[in-house]
Amino acid sequence: MPCEGICKGKVNIVLVGVGGQGLITIGRVLGEACIRKGIDIRVAETHGMAQRGGAVEVFVRIGYGVKAPLVPLGQADYVLALEVLEALRGVRYLKKCGWLITSNTLLPPPATKNVPTVTGIFNALKSLPINIIQVPVEAIAKEVGDFRSMNMPLLGGLIAFIEELLPVATVAGVIEEVLGFANKKAFIMGYEEVRKMLSTNNFIGNEVCIKR
């Protein structure tokens, strides 16, 4: 096999959540930041029917030479999940030992029976050969005083991983300009929280991946 998964130098990210949670906003912030750094990017969005409270996927590909807009199954470096049931659904995009950056929010589909619990979901995820970071998005959103900014701490968490490519200051600048100060604060808090978690090994890392 000449190349395992996507070629090096390209970062593949899949954002998953429920329509209305602000996934498209994350994609737009990343795009603006990439333009400021002269990096190529493709963001494929979900509009229309699928947006009405349904499961939503946004594909982000960053790096020199990206052309195709979609990330294939099993080939994402990062999956950002704004909701935990969608994390369960979205993890199929993640490559082996990739990072799942997720919230703790559970939004059960209406009138659905046998919805798994948050603990049940994380137990299932832990059994997979992946790394998991749980970002306390609700606590951060509460602290900045804006429920709608729950998407920003996750973006902060992602930047903690790819800041060599996209510096945190560039992304923070974009957010402050287009989304305002509260969102920037939520972003920075998410970024710092995840950096702290990584430096103190406060994440769920599957044994298979640690050995690698």
Find the binding residues for another protein in span 15-44 (CB under 8 A): 18-19, 25, 27-29, 31-32, 34-35, 40-44
Q: Which is nearer to another protein, 97 or 197 (CB)?
A: 97
Among 11, 15, 82, 128, binds another protein (CB under 8 A): 128
Q: Which is nearer to another protein, 49 or 201 (CB)?
A: 49
Query: DSSP assignment, residue 42?
Result: E
Q: Two tokens at 96?
A: 């082996």
In this structure, how many other beta carbons lie within 10 angstroms of the beta carbon of residue 106? 15
Q: Which is nearer to another protein, 67 or 211 (CB)?
A: 67
Among 11, 15, 54, 101, binds another protein (CB under 8 A): 54
Among 80, 86, 132, 194, binds another protein (CB under 8 A): 86
Q: Which is nearer to another protein, 9 or 196 (CB)?
A: 9
**Contact yes or no for 16/56 (Cβ under 8 A):** yes
**Contact yes or no for 56/49 (Cβ under 8 A):** no
Among 13, 62, 125, 166, binds another protein (CB under 8 A): 125
As a whole number of angstroms, the distance between CA 148 and CA 141 comes to 8
Q: Two tokens at 155?
A: 């973006």
Site residues for another protein, window 169-188 (CB under 8 A)? 177-179
* Smallest separation (angstroms) from another protein to the CB of 124: 5
Q: Is 2 in the site for another protein (CB under 8 A)?
A: yes
Q: Is 81 in the site for another protein (CB under 8 A)?
A: no
One-letter amino acid of 9: G
Using the rule CB under 8 A, give the single segment among 67-75, 164-172, 185-193, 197-205 that binds another protein: 67-75
# of chain residues touching another protein (CB under 8 A): 74
Nearest to 168 by CA among 177, 182, 155: 155
Query: Which phi and psi (to 5°) does residue 205 adopt?
Result: -115, 125
Among 13, 14, 45, 187, binds another protein (CB under 8 A): 45
As a whole number of angstroms, the distance between CA 61 and CA 68 comes to 8
As a whole number of angstroms, the distance between CA 72 and CA 102 comes to 20
Q: Is 75 in the site for another protein (CB under 8 A)?
A: yes
**Contact yes or no for 25/32 (Cβ under 8 A):** no
